[in-house]
Structure 1
């Protein structure tokens, strides 16, 4: 691949988050999705037709053997991420892995070792690091313009009947801790550049069919004493997503996705789309031969904190 030729991509997954990646890739002229590896036959064919992907298959391993392939994006069910990322690295392909990289610390650490041994790029889609809203707050913290005292985050999804963000039925079960809490646990550590964070948490009853906790409360505290409180639920009715309140000495700031508001509700002008900036970073790292922001290694501290929380909340497992 020359610097002028397009990066040819295998996209794995045909669900809601795969469509979000395709939307982000539309703005990149030097990237071409040449193949789709799906899980459900009808959905895979429909997705390929909708997005104009010329080739598709239900065999991920076979897709990795294609000659005209430069990179992989994994937008598959969470339980498959670690194994499929390892397969991509073994095939000599840089890979962007949807959050979470795995559902256990041991798998995350094994993936980091495999990445190092392969010499390839493995980037994790920790999208909060790329939202212009959160990046502006991090800039202010680093510049001494904003002194954070307490981050309060609310994360709500309606999962009683196990549907994705578009309301479509899922064939796999999402995870409140390893997926949704991972976003904010990593964000807090990244904002403060602090991996020595204290964590504690409690969870509600497990769903009788899905087998997962549907509600969770997590507390965090940095070495310097900055607090974070996370409220997460799969039972909530109403708008879904993650809503952030940054309580600081100078102001209280509110974030929802790429939007930043002050305490009076006035929008603070910013530019950029977090998801697009994230995917752009992956391909820039490939072309420039460097490690990307949210590399697998840089995301391990968050996985270690999630492991601590998992052990606290599930002591008998």
Structure 2
């Protein structure tokens, strides 16, 4: 029986809680958030035994076995280090961190402590992609072009729960992480580092700071490999039509997955697949099962470093044009003491 502590109770906190409710090997022990009243209400609704607004006290409870971090993106690295210091296994929501340097620090610290470090990269969990990956690994298909799109209207910082948040997304270090990682993972046949070594060129555009939000709102990333494969990620926070999909083209077929409608279109037609929420449930369940089976989780911390190194190049190009600076949702220092 694993005692689980959850940090954060937004949309992903809800989905992780739903996934582990009724799991025979899980006790939902403690949920942590800033406002004790709302955290207590969440604990009662989803079956946590305890609620807390003190992160360090919560994760250092001796009977906690593992921690799921679903707080604001810019807090992930600092929260991860606090959990590692408490010597607990951890599952971190995407992104692991918003600088490559702090991500490397987290990965190395977890490995030195012999702790499991899983990262929530949901696009690697989809069952239809598992079948495609197996064909790629067997040499039956080769990705030629992979295009991921994320368009949403986010001039006001309201998240998926419909509640106005005190923090803001980052189009490069949050949403582009999903899309670029998928491309590297498939091109590398399940090994993003292998794909990273084959990169010939990375080209990018990221807009200047929007005067209302203070963040870049548009992005294009184009990656070329030495094998003439292309990975493309595009997105905008100005988009009135919400779009979240990926299109994988091989020499034999194409696979366009609409994450929002849960529909997969191939050369054979369109079929329904599992929802984004159902897919997310697999992440926390894999984490718990990995701990029980003494194996590595499906997505390890080290396996996500290649995508963060690519994003680092894009950020460095933007910094050279606009100046290195703190922006809302992405402070330059990621390893400050966690607040909560």
TM-score where L is the length of structure 2: 0.86
CA distance in 1, matches of 2:100, 2:60: 29
| Alpha-carbon displacement from aligned partner over 1:1-59 (angstroms, at most 9, x marks no partner) | xxxxx211000001111111112223622112110111233432221222122210110
CA shift at 1:271, angstroms?
A: 11
Indicate how the Cα distance of structure 1 residues 133 and 235 shifts in structure 2: closer, same or farther if over 3 A, else same.
Answer: farther
- Tell me which residue corresponds to 1:285: 290
Q: Which moved more, 1:37-46 or 1:114-123?
A: 37-46
Given that 1:14 and 1:43 are in contact with CA atoms closer than 8 Å, whether structure 2 keeps it comes out as: no
Aligned length: 311
**Structure 2: which 5+ residue stretches go unaligned?**
189-194, 325-340
Distance 1:21 1:269, change over 3 A: closer
Tell me what 2:265 maps to. Answer: 261
Displacement, 1:264? 5.4
2:169 equivalent in structure 1 = 174
Match among 226, 230, 243 for residue 227 of structure 1: 230
Alpha-carbon distance in 2 for matches of 1:131, 1:40? 34
Aligned-pair distance for 1:290?
2.7
- Sort the Cα spacing of 1:8 and 1:259 in 2 relative to 1 into closer, same or farther, 3 A: farther
The match for 1:153 is: 148
Distance 1:173 1:292, change over 3 A: same
Query: d(CA) in 2 for partners of 1:156 and 1:33?
Result: 35
- Residues 174-210 of structure 1: CA distance to partner in whole angstroms, max 9, x if unpaired? 1111111011111111112112223221012322243
Residues 191-270 of structure 1 aligned to structure 2 (within 5 Å)? 191-193=186-188, 194-196=195-197, 197=199, 198-240=201-243, 242-257=244-259, 259-263=263-267, 265-267=269-271
2:108 to 113, 120, 124: 113
Match of 1:34 in 2: 29
Between the aligned partners of 1:205 and 1:46, the Cα distance in structure 2 is 40
Q: Distance in 1 between matches of 2:94 and 2:179?
A: 12
RMSD: 2.0
CA gap of 1:153–1:287, structure 2 versus 1, over 3 A, is: same
Of 68, 84, 89 in structure 1, the residue corresponding to residue 84 of structure 2 is 89
Matched, 1:43 2:38: yes
List gaps (5 residues or longer) in structure 1: 1-5
Q: TM-score, normalised by structure 1?
A: 0.92
Counterpart residue number, 2:14: 19
The whole-number CA distance in structure 1 between the counterparts of 2:280 and 2:141 is 25
Query: Where does residue 328 of structure 2 map in the other structure?
Result: none
Contact 1:9 1:31 in 2 (8 A): yes
